[in-house]
Amino acid sequence: MSPGTLYLVATPIGNLADITQRAISVLAQVDVIAAEDTRHSQRLLSHLCIKTKLLAYHEHNEEKITPRLLDELESGKSIALISDAGTPLISDPGYRLVMQAHDRDVRIVPIPGACAAIAALSAAGLATDSFSFEGFPPAKQGARLHFFEPFSKQSRTMIFYVSCHRIIDTLKDMQTTFGESRRVTFARELTKTFETIRRMTLADLIPWVEADPNQRKGEIVVIVEGAAEPRADASQVDHYLSILLAELPVKQAVALVVKMTGENKNDIYKRALALKDA
C-alpha cells in the first residue's frame, strides 16, 4: 500500500463474489477501514478473512471523524473508505472526506467495482448515451412532486434510488409528473437471489407492483426514460432551408439544418431538393 493514501473501495451490492481481487488486496493491507456500518461491513471482512481495523464513518459522525482521518493520512497511514454496499459516495457518506483530502493534497485512489445505479442502467434497455443519477426522492409527497418537476422535460435517462416502503407512492408521483406512457425500468435486489428487472410504462408498472408484495421489498432502482425531443415544425425547417439554400450548397445547408433541429438527415435532404426545384 502507498502510505498516506485514501482508497475508495467498492464492495458487493448483494453477491459477495462480485468483489474484485484488487479490493480484497487493498482492504487486507490498509491501516484502517472507514465503514458506514461496522457491524454490516464486519460480515464481509469475516467472509474474506480480513482483520483490518474498522472505524465507523457515517452521516452522524462525519463532521467529527473527518479531521481525524485526514490527520492520520497526513501522518502516512493508508485508509480505505467503504459503504454498506456498492461504490462509496454514491448516495453514501464520504463527500466531506474526499473534498477535504483534495484540499490537503492527500492522494486519492478509487478501487472500482459494483454500483447499483450503473448495473441497473446497463440492463435497463433505455438510452445510455446521456444520463443522470438523482439519488433518493424526498419522503413526503409534496416535496417529492416538487423534486420530480424539473426532470419532466429532460431528454436524458434518469436514475433514482427508491425506498421499498415508498415505491408505490413514488411511482404514482412519477406517473403524475412524467405521464403514464413514460417507460421506466424497475430493478430490484440486483445480484441477489430474487433479482427482478422489468421495463414497462408507468401505467403498466404500478398495478404490477401493487399486485405482488414481493416487488415492494429490498433495494430498488428506478430508471426513467428521458422525454422525447420535440420535432421541429415543418414550416420552421422550410424557413431555415430557404435562407441557407440561398447562400450555400445543398449539402452544407442540410448539414446545418440537421444540426439545428436534430431531424433525420435524409428527410431534410429530400425537403431541400424539393425546395430547390420549386
Out of 110-114, 244-248, 262-266, give the one with best mean pLDDT: 110-114
Residue 220 has pLDDT above 90, yes or no: yes
Give 223-244 pLDDT, tens digit per residue. Answer: 999 998 777 788 888 899 899 9
CB 35 within 8 A of CB 97: no
Q: pLDDT higher for 217 or 277?
A: 217
* Res 169: pLDDT: 98
Q: Longest C-alpha distance within the chain, in Å?
A: 81
Arithmetic mean of pLDDT, 169-176: 98
Give 78-123 pLDDT, tens digit per residue. Answer: 999 999 999 999 988 899 999 999 999 999 999 999 999 999 999 9
Residue 56 DSSP SS3:
strand
CB 97 within 8 A of CB 26: no
Arithmetic mean of pLDDT, 212-217: 97
Share of the chain above pLDDT 90, in %: 84
Give 39-79 pLDDT, tens digit per residue. Answer: 999 999 999 999 999 999 999 999 999 999 999 999 999 99
* Res 231: pLDDT: 73
Determine the number of helices (DSSP H) and then strands (DSSP E) in the chain.
11, 10
Tell me the average pLDDT of the chain.
Answer: 95
| DSSP at 185 | E
Buried b / exposed e across 133-142, counting CB within 10 Å, b at 16+? Answer: ebeebeeeee
Residue 200 has pLDDT above 90, yes or no: yes
* Res 10: pLDDT: 98
Please state whether beta strands 79-82 and 157-162 pair in parallel, antiparallel, or not at all (unpaired): unpaired
Give the residue from 5, 165, 162 showing the smallest Cα distance to 72: 5
| E strand segments, the chain | 5-9, 32-35, 53-56, 79-82, 107-111, 131-133, 157-162, 183-188, 196-201, 220-224
